[in-house]
Structure 1
Amino acid sequence: MSAKASGVPFGIDFGGSGIKGAPVDLDRGEFAEERVRIDTPQPSTPHAVAAVFAELLAKFPGSEGPVGVTVPGVVVKGVVHSAANIDKHWIGEDADRLFTKGTGRDVHVVNDADAAGLAEVRYGAAKGRRGLVIVTTLGTGIGSALVYDGVLVPNSELGHLEIDGHDAEKRAAASAREREDLSWEDWAKRLTAYYRKLEDLFSPELFVVGGGVSKKADQFLPLVDIETEIIPAELRNAAGIVGAALYATESET
């Protein structure tokens, strides 16, 4: 790899099937070099994943900035407290310390939805918006990020609100639409109930909707009947890596 990424932060998006990373240009909110993907090891224990991070970073010898890592779980002061879709050995793991030791770099871990939310507010669909922005990612579950005047309020986990006696993401996530073969109209009714609940609780200025299904936002967002403005995310697959690098840089300063 070239030396053009020297000094810039590095973002790693850790998921159940793949680990993706790239140096990030924070002036533009874009990859500084082409992203690299490595399959997630099975089982995806913390030490096995740390070895993949070291392998990934070795592919970018010119990148020397701080490293941000997304984790699909609650993260408090670098310690992982939940592991819904990853190996249970992550629970209680001081991931910041493990990855810093394993890679020889300054590593900062952040919830995956929080990373995406930060990226969308700084560079994407919510850039320049003040007040409370709620970013939701609709996928296997529902991830969420609360960002107020550009400042992240971490670990909101709003996908687990109770709606009509059900965990919200079990009925309103994109996976529920596929599993139950719902029409866009029927799924939008469930999303309407979900976002109305968020409106009642938080009165946000804006909702941003991410996740892979956001590529088809024109099929369902116009059908979501709420008062708050709701728009699709822009950074899509880049959001986790960009947001992680941004989080790591701001954690350093």
Structure 2
Amino acid sequence: MSETTAIGIDIGGTGIKGAVVDLATGELLSDRVKLATPKGGRPKDIVETTRKLLETVSAGATDLPIGVCFPAVVKNGHTMSAANVSEDWIGLAAEDLFEKGLSRRIHFVNDADAAGYAESQFGAAKGEPGVVLLTTLGTGIGSALLNDGVLVPNTELGHLEIDGHDYETKAAYSAKEREDLSWEKWARRLQKYYTTLEALFSPDLFVVGGGVSKNHADFLPLLDLRTRIVPAVHRNNAGILGAAALAVKFPG
């Protein structure tokens, strides 16, 4: 088994994607395969779709480590929440379920944590000392907290209460779209959010991911922060890269 090659699988509310990853470079060694997440997002259906994807991605390579990331708080292999998937996941022994369904050992992790770890290994936070906070701005706000490259899991900082609101409902990219906010109006909400994170964590670097980060020039310059803030390098592939890297770091 090569310790520089692994399979990463990223499960989301609309799609499940995966690839073989070169962990020395962060490049994909296979095509990125994507299948639609089954309607309803039920555990049995998602595991079966993941099995089909793995068959295609692995192409007979049965000795590679496998990392799977998922939109939930993950504790001791259990999914303790559910975002855009069935509530049947809450409290489920998900890692065991996947291992039985895939007939393989896996490493199971929160999706935002995987994205943050990917940026620390292959992207905007590579080699950065101190406290790095990655946030993904999308349907909600995902977060990953790292200190000197060590991941602190399941921070879920999108759910900070600010001005009486679960603040991802006000500052996620979905809020900008739902309320048809200008970049300037949305940036004022992001300003409040990132200022709060500064006060709580005194980070050395913010990394902003999610699909909207490709438009970073439209909103990051509008923010006035003490902390340097940069766009993520790996958007669509971040979960795949991070899940694969963590599978090697924490073999089953």
Shift of 1:6: 11
Deviation sequence 1:96-138 (CA, Å, 0-9, x none): 1111111111112111100000000111011110000000000
Secondary structure of 1:11's aligned partner? strand
What's 1:101 paired with? Answer: 100
Q: CA deviation at 1:58?
A: 1.1
Q: Where do residues 28-107 of structure 1 align in structure 2 (5 Å cutoff)?
A: 28-59=25-56, 60-63=58-61, 64-107=63-106
Q: Report the AA paired with residue 223 of structure 1.
A: L
Task: Name whichever of 54-63 and 115-124 sits farther off.
Answer: 54-63
Partner of 1:250: 249
CA distance in 1, matches of 2:187, 2:67: 34
1:235-246 aligned within 5 A:
235-246=234-245
Q: What secondary structure does 1:9 align onto?
A: strand
Amino acid at match of 1:241: I
1:16 counterpart letter in structure 2:
G
Q: Once the two structures are superposed, what CA deviation does each residue of 1:52-92 show, in whole Å capped at 9, x if it has no partner?
A: 11111111224331211111110001100001321111111
CA pair 251-173 structure 1, distance change in 2 beyond 3 A: same
Q: Distance in 2 between matches of 1:205 and 1:8?
A: 31
Alignment of 1:209-228 (within 5 A): 209-228=208-227
Which structure 1 segments of 5+ residues have no match? none
Q: CA deviation at 1:32?
A: 1.1
TM-score by length of 1: 0.95
CA contact (8 A) 2:3 2:248 kept: no
Task: Give the secondary-structure state (helix, strand or coil) at the position aligned to 1:33.
Answer: coil
C-alpha contact (below 8 Å) 1:6/1:62 kept by paired residues: no
**Identity of counterpart residues, as a percentage?**
57
Distance in structure 2 (CA, Å) of the matches to 1:6 and 1:164: 47
Rounded to whole Å, the distance in 2 between the matches of 1:169 and 1:113 is: 14
**Paired position in structure 1 for 2:132:** 133
Query: In the superposition, relative to structure 1, how do residues 155 and 6 fare at CA in structure 2: closer, same or farther (>3 Å)?
Result: closer
Q: Structure 1 residue 26 and structure 2 residue 19: aligned?
A: no
Aligned 1:111-126 pairs, distance under 5 A: 111-126=110-125
Return the alpha-carbon distance in structure 2 between the equivalents of residues 247 and 6 of structure 1. Answer: 11
3-state secondary structure, aligned to 2:192: helix
| 1:152 lines up with 2:151 in the alignment | yes
State which drifts further: 50-59 or 214-223: 50-59
- Residues 206 and 229 of structure 1 are in contact (CA less than 8 Å); yes or no, is this contact kept in structure 2? yes
Asked whether the 8 Å contact 1:7–1:65 carries over to 2, the reply is no
Gaps of 5+ in 2: none
Map 1:164-243; keep pairs closer than 5 Å: 164-243=163-242
Tell me how many residue pairs correspond in the alignment: 249
Q: CA deviation at 1:191?
A: 0.3
Which whole-Å CA distance do the structure 2 matches of 1:91 and 1:240 have between them?
A: 21
Letter in 1 for 2:117: L
> In the alignment, residue 231 of structure 1 is paired with which amino acid?
V
Task: Decide whether the 8 Å contact of 2:78 with 2:91 is kept in 1.
Answer: yes
Matched residue type, 1:76: K
Is contact 1:172-1:187 (8 Å) kept?
yes
Task: Compare 229-238 and 60-69 and name the one that shifted more.
Answer: 60-69
Q: Which runs of 4+ in 1 moved over 6 A?
A: none
Q: Check the 8 A contact 1:75/1:109 in 2, yes or no.
A: yes
